[in-house]
Amino acid sequence: MIKNSASCKQRGVGWKSSGQLETRYSLMHNIPKTNQFVVAALYQFISVDDIELWQKKLKDICTSCDLMGTLLIADEGLNGTISGRCDDMHRFIDWLLEKTIFSAPELKFAVHETLPFHRMKVRLKREIVTMGAKGISPTRQAGTYVSPKDWNALISEPGVMVVDTRNDYEVAIGQFQGAVNPLTKTFREFPQWAEALAAMPEEERPKKLAMYCTGGIRCEKSTALMKNLGFEDVYHLKGGILQYLEDIPQEQSLWEGECFVFDSRVAVDHNLQRGQYALCHACKMPLNADEMKTQAYVAGISCPHCIDKTSAIQRARFAERARQIELAKQRGTTHIGVSPKISKSQKMTPKKVNRKIYKSEKS
């Protein structure tokens, strides 16, 4: 079913339609039941009147639920990725859907063997995904949602331009067949590419656009931009690449390669399992097996992408950081985010570790 994302009007906290109740049940039911860590990626475009108040509420509930990760809140909505134990995640999602204005988020879950984040941050931002274009609002104007099951048919139509709204380093490790790469290093560069496309002669401009990104947030905002620039037939993949990989069997898939993700997995394959890429901790670029075999690659210090862009002082700092991380591993502790007051002899449950991590962030 195709659904226009801009037409879904939100009401006040406490109002629940039958559709909202069904959505709430579905989202709660989808939380993985596991003894490992649950990771939740979520976003919702919605007008927020008092972002400072919601920042405090989100901080309080995340502390109460022992969650780690980052949430961004702005006048245009909420975006972020958090992790925690199954029961704690259940408490948070129940609160979010029942007690807040963020009652209809795009929400995806994954399972991690270890805690992928080491702090909990709730930050105030001008935008929940930074494009930098003024007057763009997905709540007022956006493209038409296309479900993963209908996506193949859409992008196979003659004359449809398939646009990858992600950054160049993400596109390099995987994309849909025939997709256009705008060659952006950050999402802030996308409006410049879009304006150049809109400035093309009428007979050369694409008549229909199909846009996608990792989880849906960037393509949702980019469709609002394209509509604002005068494109009429603009579509975007509901739930993004990750939902497509989850829903579409590999033998029917038009996806090629792996999908970059913004956590310790670096990339996932078509089965949403950890892929073949690693991350350079100096420049944050994904690295394939061949790049990790080069002389430029030194774990935690440099890679072919950054060896010529960093100074000897910077590399020395990276080396010291890598050494401290390795020492922490040998002690059985976590180098990042854990209070230095924690003794290596302390035996802590995951929840106690989480509370210590949060306190170190506050200090």
CA-nearest of 297, 242, 249 to 265 is: 242
Average pLDDT, whole number, for the chain? 85
Q: What is the pLDDT of residues 214-230, one digit of tens each?
A: 999 999 999 999 999 99
* pLDDT band of 26, cuts 50, 70, 90: low
> Hey, what domains does the chain have and what are their CATH numbers?
10-124 (3.30.70.100), 144-257 (3.40.250.10)
Q: What pLDDT is stored for residue 138 in this prediction?
A: 92
Mean pLDDT of 140-167: 96
Told to judge if 86 belongs to the known catalytic residues of this protein, a careful annotator would answer: no
Q: Which of 62, 65, 213, 306 is catalytic?
A: 213
* Res 127: pLDDT: 96
| Span 171-207, pLDDT tens digits | 999 999 999 999 999 999 999 999 999 999 999 999 9
Q: How confident is the model at residue 115 (pLDDT cuts 50, 70, 90)?
A: confident
Q: Where are the beta strands (DSSP E) in the chain?
A: 3-4, 37-45, 68-74, 77-84, 106-112, 120-124, 144-146, 160-164, 174-176, 208-212, 233-237, 255-257, 259-260, 267-268, 278-279, 286-287
pLDDT bucket at 359, cuts 50 / 70 / 90: very low
Q: Is the pLDDT of residue 342 over 50?
A: no
E-strand stretches of 24-156: 37-45, 68-74, 77-84, 106-112, 120-124, 144-146
Coil, strand or helix at 358: helix
User: What is the percent of the chain where pLDDT is above 70?
Assistant: 84
What pLDDT digit, counting tens, does each position of 250-307 carry? 999 999 999 999 877 899 999 988 899 999 988 889 999 999 999 999 988 999 999 9
pLDDT value for 116? 83
Contact between 168 and 224 (Cβ < 8 Å): no
The pLDDT value given to residue 323: 85
| Distance between CA atoms of residues 261 and 285, nearest Å | 12
Phi, psi of 187 (to 5 degrees): -65, -20
Whether 245 contacts 195, CB under 8 Å: no
